[in-house]
Homo-oligomer: A and B are copies of this chain.
Amino acid sequence: MILVLEPDAGSAEVDRIVKTLEEKGVKVHYSKGVDKTILGLIGDKQVLSRLAVERFSGVEKVIHVSEPFKLAGRSFHPEPSRIQVGNVTIGGGAPVVIAGPCSVESRDQILETARAVKQAGAGLLRGGAFKPRSSPYSFQGLGEEGLKLLAEAGEETGLPVVSEVMDPENLDLVAEYVDILQLGARNMQNFHLLKKVGKAGKPVLLKRGLSATIEEWLMSAEYILNEGNPHVILCERGIRTFETHTRNTLDLSAVPVIRHLSHLPIIVDPSHGTGKWRYVTPMSRAALAAGADGLMVEVHPDPEVALSDGPQSLTLDNFRSMMAELSRPVARIHSGSGT
């Protein structure tokens, strides 16, 4: 941690800061530059994080040098984490595809979808039972009935299943039926839920918040890891920007950035990332080309009648075409004719 001092900080102020810090066991390096005087603080992160050094008289600003996360970082765990779910491995190898409807709506709907996505090469099945909706008047999911149907479809097809848990009171219920607990974007900083999910003993798929920095996202993963659950899968699903043509702005740079900073697997959700089915296939190709460990894609037998997220859902046919597109080469470069 570095303190940049105010231009007019006098030596009495500096002495007071140094004394206060040294009393807490923090070592202080003093360094006077051309424009600025800085103090480099060396000591226990916990101690430092408890001091409101930015408020010390004479301090202009505080610069954090270390990342705030530890368990989520590459230094702590240099090899990529591999998370085993049923017969599927997520991370550290070939990418997987999680597919299924936004919401479980009926037995027929989820079974038909499960069979079709399995046949097309999906490795896991998704389906929402408790749905976070911005309007209290929108369809809120089938609840436990939806979880049962999802589990049944998973069992029949052999696909492990993923579903969202929205609140601590339903956690045990959801955990009973699913193989992976999904934490939605709006709950990325629901710290109470993060802690509880960290104790639930199931892999967690942690979506990035709409306006979360990559560092904050890793700190939310840290909450889960810190409770003793190492099985966290990150999911980029688009961030909020000024662009309105797409529902969100899919930040695919997050894929190599997470790869650089962390050992945790990262998958991409191009359905929420774009909000429009016609952009899902190109962005799925892009996500995997950037190195993602997987995709999470919304698929519905008849999106026109979907109770949620119809506009961004692929049909079963769309999904089969998408899967075929994924194995094509990225590109064949044109370097000029006749050369």
Contact = CB atoms under 8 A, between A and B. Distances in A.
A199 interface: no
B136 A310 contact: no
Given A49-B137, A169-B168, A256 B283 contact: yes
Given A54-B310, A168-B167, A282-B290, A339 B192 contact: no
B334 A330 contact: no
A191 B333 contact: no
Contacts of A220: 134
Interface stretch (A106-114, A144-152, A300-308): A300-308
Interface string A36-76: 10101011111001111011110000010111100000010
A194 to B, nearest CB: 8
A11 interface: no
A189 interface: yes
Contacts of A57: 304
Interface residues of A, number: 135
Contact of A50 (B93, B239, B307): B307
A331 interface: yes
A210 interface: yes
Given A94-B331, A326-B330, 12 more contacts: A2-B38, A34-B66, A45-B137, A46-B137, A50-B138, A87-B338, A121-B333, A136-B195, A136-B222, A241-B249, A282-B291, A286-B290
For the complex of A and B, the 9 pairs showing the least CB-CB separation, nearest first, are A52-B310, A211-B211, A94-B334, A289-B289, A167-B192, A54-B311, A286-B290, A288-B331, A285-B289
